[in-house]
Chain A
């Protein structure tokens, strides 16, 4: 087990190094940030000064080494646009996105898994058919349209929900959170639902497929033959047997939502990472882009590691030997 974790950290290290090189070179190839940063009528000296200040006159590999060296010391550089350290900038935006994403993913699981298990348990019933049809809608309706509809219905027509922003925030561990105040929760609800929709449909489909498969297995027949009630069978046997694909998708979706909640954040003007990255791409703010992509790679690595560890927790067959 320890050697497994050790091995995974080793792999993660390699991935981070490869990722940093890829990202740095990839971003380097995109446009010239100087043109964006200084006014066109600046003199040649000022231009050269700025280029030298940001180290843009050095060859690519030297720039990369400098970058890597700063990275090791936890310094992501200065944002060209905001003029503040990138680390601080990203950290100021991360909690908003983290909060929104967690809310959406947990909402999707808490609602989707029970619905899916029910649909798999009684596949013929009317309710199951309604659930399954709704889940197809959830897959096919575009996020931006659904978000706009939510705003129109609840914020414009009925006026009971705010159309955007984070609302009042309260401080916990020195970070601002929306979910701690009533007003903040209200602001969180619509974007959360919008973001959860696709994941909800996915959870329903996965849980249903797993449940249908497990319900006809000998394990369930044997449990029934022992007189165990249907509720206990679903809660204790079925849920645990179908959990591995669910955890996999939970992890993957959590990662990708965290990284790419852009559309929802834009529609609900949620001041999160998604907006930051879009802004920095349009203004060619290289340090922010690089730091953001590194953060995303790191997040996926951590989430995958956690998912693998949860597998071992869930399935005793994986505990012996190498996974």
Chain B
């Protein structure tokens, strides 16, 4: 057997900071043959990205590859090379694709200029030749009309197109190895599916080896021959993709797989991955005297969204208005975000709103929660308006609350979380000032946090803990309906499992009605008994979750479901062996 293309032995990348040494990568070894695809899987902080950066020689101060580490590309040692020699390898023999195509391309340079710079990095090219090669490179990644698109700027492309451009730049010099760091995480599922398929073809076409770094086991399973599972700087398990996913040996791999909602029976509690091992949170305190007027009203549907539409239009200046009247300019186009949608929910329902970015699902969620006034239509809770009528509509109920995607953005960074939680209830007289402290502690306990955390600031929490604080803050308003806008989208799978479990439990105990907005079809399937699929501001299909997932009737739903990468399931024969 010939020498492997890439041989990583005992790679240690440590960060020497004033507070001590952080061992981001701590003794990683693996090898990769030419044309092979390796999936590097792990949760945030596992060191998977740092491993990628170490290989391509982009570790910045205070990080350092420790002595004793070895990275050999075709037998040539890369550790200890001078900056210049490393630069000559980067982009030529090894190249890299990053997570967010919005951030990687330079917004102020045209695609052609950026490709030209990458070409000039490894040899002289004439402008005409660069142009030709740029067009060819764009064609290779299936960008239509490459001759004109080459002069575009990044903002003129969609997210998927930008990622294709980034891949085209990575492929320019026909590298032997491409490192892809979460290249599809920021994209919609259908675009992710396209990029995955194209990446597979390109790898096969060019014979390039690929290291695919991801937190998502399902995407890795669909592209990689081998996987390596990383945890706290080490590879805990490695092997053939199917072997690792179907017969995981290491408890961490097993825990990671078990915390995926796609592998569990819908509605059940998920196994809680690699969490701290603390018991699930204790039940929440009883509502204090909030129940007296909550007797169900007969004959009135519980929560109704009735014929709601929302347009967004740019405000135009006086001059533009005049010019428009005179026929000099065309009117500014109106964005129809939500187009005549009606929904009815019974008490205790959980409705999933699913769609890709730009489908209007978040706008609809905000209208339902009373944050945006609809352009037309009405939202009622037990027959009462959620938003007042009149010229400047306001939300007039506290019975609907929202949990946002990014708890870091939705919590005030300069306010203790205890004060953030008690602010609303105090303002609405749900709790007296004297009892506020105790009230906050009860809610923190209810979402499984240490009640003593009330005095901390948001930055002192991990992502999952912060999202729990955000949930506690929403629930402390004692709502009947909770709108969750992608509450688990930015979280690791094991933390995602914790939050999903919490929502399942709280829904049962508090008889909450949930509107759960997500792009993740497996999470929705797990948590919601009804689902509505949105596309371009309309609901294309709605019904019982199980029914729609089994027999999608609409074309778009079918495409959406087909695009979701699925984990290979164990064959019955395998099960018998086990």
Contact = CB atoms under 8 A, between A and B. Distances in A.
Contacts of A237: 106, 109, 117
B107 A317 contact: yes
B414 interface: no
A32 interface: no
Interface residues of A, number: 28
B118 A228 contact: yes
B302 interface: no
A229 B118 CA distance: 10
B95 A225 contact: yes
A236 B92 CA distance: 20
Contacts of A226: 90-91, 95, 117-118, 121, 169-170, 172
Interface string A214-227: 00111101111111
Interface string B77-109: 000000000011111100110111001111111
Contact of A316 (B56, B58, B155): B155
- Residue in A217, A314, A316 whose Cβ sees the most chain B Cβ within 10 Å: A316
Interface in A308-323: 314-317, 322
A283 interface: no
Contacts of B117: 223, 226, 228, 232, 236-237
A240 B108 CA distance: 7
B122 A227 contact: yes
A134 interface: no
A222 B100 CA distance: 11
B104 to A, nearest CB: 4
Interface in A194-238: 216-219, 221-229, 232, 236-237
A232 B106 contact: no
A3 interface: yes
Interface string B109-132: 110010001101110000000000
B320 interface: yes
B507 to A, nearest CB: 38
Interface residues of B, number: 42
A241 interface: yes
A3 B326 CA distance: 14
A218 B121 CA distance: 18
Contact of A229 (B87, B106, B319): B87
A225 B96 contact: yes
Contacts of B317: 7, 322
A124 interface: yes
Contacts of A322: 317, 320
Given A3-B319, A3-B329, A227 B107 contact: no
Nearest to A225: B96
B323 interface: yes
Contacts of A218: 98-100, 103-104
A240 to B, nearest CB: 5
A241 B106 contact: yes
Given A218-B100, A316-B153, A317-B153, A225 B106 contact: no
Nearest to B61: A124
Given A218-B100, A219-B105, A221-B98, A227 B110 contact: no
A10 interface: yes
Given A7-B317, A10-B319, A225 B108 contact: no
A309 to B, nearest CB: 16
B166 interface: yes
A217 B56 contact: no
A183 B146 CA distance: 58
B166 A222 contact: yes
Nearest to B94: A225
A316 B106 CA distance: 11
Contacts of A7: 317, 319
B61 to A, nearest CB: 7
Given A227-B91, A237-B109, A315-B108, A222 B98 contact: yes
Contact of A225 (B56, B61, B88, B105): B56
B175 to A, nearest CB: 10
Contacts of A217: 103
Interface of A: 3, 6-7, 10, 124, 216-219, 221-229, 232, 236-237, 240-241, 314-317, 322
Query: 5 tightest CB-CB pairs across the interface, nearest first?
Result: A227-B91, A226-B91, A225-B96, A227-B90, A218-B103
5 contacts: A218-B99, A224-B90, A225-B96, A226-B91, A229-B87
Given A218-B104, A219-B104, A232-B120, 4 more contacts: A225-B90, A227-B121, A317-B108, A317-B153
